[in-house]
Structure 1
Amino acid sequence: MTSTAYERAQRIGQNAVRTAILDQAITLLTREGHAALTVRRIATEAGCSTKVIYTLFGGKDGLAEALWREGFARFRRALEDVRPGPGPTAHLLALTAAYRAYALAEPYYYRIMFEKVIPEFSPSADDGREARKAFHLLKSACEAAVAAGELAGDPREIADQLWMAMHGAVSLELSGFFERDHADALFPALCAAILRSFTAPPGAAG
């Protein structure tokens, strides 16, 4: 007899149950759109009672918030997993590659994070603070590159320009405007061009 996603997760623990329900919600959103995101429908797909969802998330609004936060948590982990490169700028470029890789691996989470995929959901100020933790990693890498004399300028400005460029490029790719092979070449070239515009003059370190 085939077990449900809920039953399989239940054998592991509550965190696994929570993740399984979020994954089922993502599957529904991807397949049918936000109108399908009801507590009853998600419970049916996950193979659990509606009470489980109300207990874990408080209802549909709490589930939407959990999806948003989960997207940013996964995004942050993807950036944290990037190993330091041979220098600060190399590490920064590796972070930009991880940004795109995450968006392509988790396209619907990415859309929940940055688009109004669930129209009735608006992140709270606390949600926003949690989300910005991921971008602190990008800003910190920019600060390291400036401190090492590899880049010059305001680290926040460098990080913001990179973020804007990456988001635009990734959004176009996810929308089908660029084929994967073409984007494989364009994306790193775009990020490298932005960083070159902030290249520090010789002897600028310290």
Structure 2
Amino acid sequence: MNTPYQDAQRAGQAAVRTAILDHAIDLLVTEGAAALTMRRIASGIGASTKVLYTMFGGKEGLVDALYREGFARLRRAQQRAHRAEDPLTRLNDLAAAYRAHALAEPAYYRVMFEQAVPGYQPSAEALDAAESAFDASVEAVQACIDSGVFAPGDAREISKLLWAAAHGAVSLEIAGHFPPETAARRFHTLTAAVGQAFLADEHGQGRTS
């Protein structure tokens, strides 16, 4: 029987990287950060530690790769969201995609936002990857401004505030504070309420200063 590493090798370097990261995130979830060692990860997929060190440089590089992978997956989820003609609908669809992705990938979500690995500090490259994951949201906000749905403003700043609202609701849901029967309603109520702060009134001015 082939090891996960041998199977991934046949598919190429990208598949090897994914196999390593997937096993690392599984270890993190099931056994905690202390289990996240190069030896344990290599043993789990049937590879040598040399493979991991060559690809990631060490544990810090591997955790950085987990962080970047989490945001890369979020970016892909945002790109797959329905691109409605109406800019506000498009923005709401991106918020829904954010929530769906977080619930589908809670382990990566914790690496990205909850310091699941104590002492880890994202590299400059990782922080750039995190920032670019929200480009679709910034573009949707700008479309709302350009169409007159939102009052004039800084699209990136507005996007950050909308993200803060979505993130807060999702974090509470993942932590179990928002039960399934109310979580979706609360998420949509909160994100809609924050979005209303940026709507243009009949004079084209924002409702808040």
Give the corresponding residue for 2:194: 194
Q: Which residue of 2 aligns with 1:99?
A: 98
Tell me, yes or no, if the aligned pair for 1:149 and 1:203 is still in contact at 8 Å: no
- Alpha-carbon shift at residue 90 of structure 1 (Å): 0.2
4+ residue stretches of structure 1 with deviation over 3 A?
202-205
Q: Which runs of 5+ in 2 are unaligned?
A: none
Partner AA of 1:193 in structure 2: A
Root-mean-square deviation over aligned CA pairs = 1.5
Q: How does 1:98-177 map to 2 (within 5 A)?
A: 98-154=97-153, 155-177=155-177
Deviations 1:21-47 (A, max 9, x none): 000000000000000000000011111
Asked if the contact 1:57–1:66 (Cα under 8 Å) also holds between the matched residues in 2, the reply is yes
- Where in structure 2 are the equivalents of 1:14-163 lying within 5 Å? 14-154=13-153, 155-163=155-163
Q: Is residue 6–residue 46 contact of structure 1 (8 Å, CA) maintained in 2?
A: yes
Q: Distance in 2 between matches of 1:196 and 1:120?
A: 38
**Aligned-pair CA distance for 1:203:** 6.5
CA distance in 2, matches of 1:203, 1:88: 19
Amino acid of the residue matched to residue 173 of structure 1? E
Structure 1: state its 5+ residue gaps: none
Tell which has more relative contact order, 1 or 2 (C-alpha 8 A, sep 6+). Answer: 1
Q: Specify the code of the residue in structure 2 equivalent to 1:188.
A: H
Identity percentage over the alignment? 52
In structure 2, C-alpha distance between the alignment counterparts of 1:66 and 1:38, rounded to whole Å: 14
- 1:11 aligned counterpart, secondary structure: helix
